[in-house]
Amino acid sequence: MKPAPFDYFAPTSLEEALDLLDRYGPDARVIAGGQSLVPMLALRLARPEVIVDLNRIPALAGIAEEGSTLRIGAMTRQAMALASPVVREKLPLLHLGLENVGHPPTRARGTLGGSISHADPAAETPMIMLAYRATMVIAGSRGERTVDAGQFTLGTFETCLEEGEILKQIIVESRPDEGTGFAELSRRRGDFAMASAAARIRLDDAGKCVEAHLMIGAVAPVPLRCDAVAQALVGEEPSEACIREVVRLIDLDVFEFDNPEISLAYRRHIAPVLARRALMQSVTRARELRK
């Protein structure tokens, strides 16, 4: 199929893009990498009257360091972030997650902000930003506002972005002193995740956990934060036996997705396995950092 007719604009500044969104209101949609919107247009699942292309706005892309803070432009390509030495060193969990995003051609076009704004429950990037407790900078005609990652994603394909607003930037505190782990189940590498897990762990000199984070993705409308597991790890030496025990604290009752491709029962079975793998990876990397 072909897309329904639409008017196309390619602004060269954020201000121009916001003016266009303000002018056309609910009839307008922005396009970033197009990895989700273009197929929806082709299938006529989306029929905007106006497309505002953000690809000619250089100020929306790039990775900048400000002390211990990284500012990532929403139009930064996934491939660029994956290849970035800064991301590999300072945000290793993002690097691990991006390795599982699609295939090289999709990462070459796909953007971090586009994926986060699309809010697919199976997507890696929104879950990782939740794991990092990132801050989202949102631009609109009335100015800018910031929200925590946990307040940005509201549900399946639903965010807090209001009409006329654009995700401008993601702010993340660098975490070079912690171990990270990522595990995902999909039918083939690059396919959408059936379930996934992301972990962060920081150890003290004695090898005990002083901070932990665990996220489970692709099982509910928003990625799930497993705080009970994280709290149980703090103060413990995270051995394999310990991790096997604490993953039992994952609340399987909050899992929602149940479909022919992967049932709710199987998600409840495999998610703790993926969580254990991600936690063990993070512990191994954290111990290497202490050497």
The pLDDT, as a whole number, for residue 61 is 97
Backbone angles phi, psi at 274, to 5 degrees: -65, -40
Tokens of 135: 């801050």
Provide the whole-model pTM: 0.94
| Architecture, CATH, for domain 179-290 | 2-Layer Sandwich (3.30)
Would you list the domain boundaries of the chain? 7-53, 58-173, 179-290
Beta partners for 51?
8, 29
The pLDDT, as a whole number, for residue 43 is 85
Question: In CATH, what number does 58-173 get?
Answer: 3.30.465.10
| CA–CA gap between residue 269 and residue 9 (Å, rounded) | 47
Answer for the pair 60, 54: CB distance below 8 angstroms, yes or no.
yes
Sign of CA dihedral 12, 18, 23, 27: positive
pLDDT in tens, the chain (291 residues): 688 899 999 999 999 999 999 999 999 999 999 988 888 888 888 899 999 999 999 999 999 999 899 999 999 999 999 999 999 999 999 999 999 998 889 999 999 999 999 999 999 999 999 999 999 999 999 999 999 999 999 999 999 999 999 999 999 999 888 999 999 999 888 788 999 999 999 999 999 999 999 999 999 999 999 999 999 999 999 999 999 999 999 999 999 999 888 999 999 999 999 999 999 999 999 999 987
Answer for the pair 111, 75: CB distance below 8 angstroms, yes or no.
yes
DSSP string, 62-131: -EEEETTEEEEETT-BHHHHHH-HHHHHH-HHHHHHHTTSS-HHHHHH-BHHHHHHHT-TT-HHHHHHHH
Q: Do domains 58-173 and 179-290 have the same CATH topology?
A: no
| CA–CA gap between residue 10 and residue 31 (Å, rounded) | 10
What is the helix (H) or strand (E) element at residue 137, kind and residue range?
Answer: strand 135-140
Q: Which CATH class is domain 7-53?
A: alpha beta
Query: Could you give the 3-state DSSP secondary structure of residue 146?
Result: strand
Answer for the pair 127, 97: CB distance below 8 angstroms, yes or no.
yes
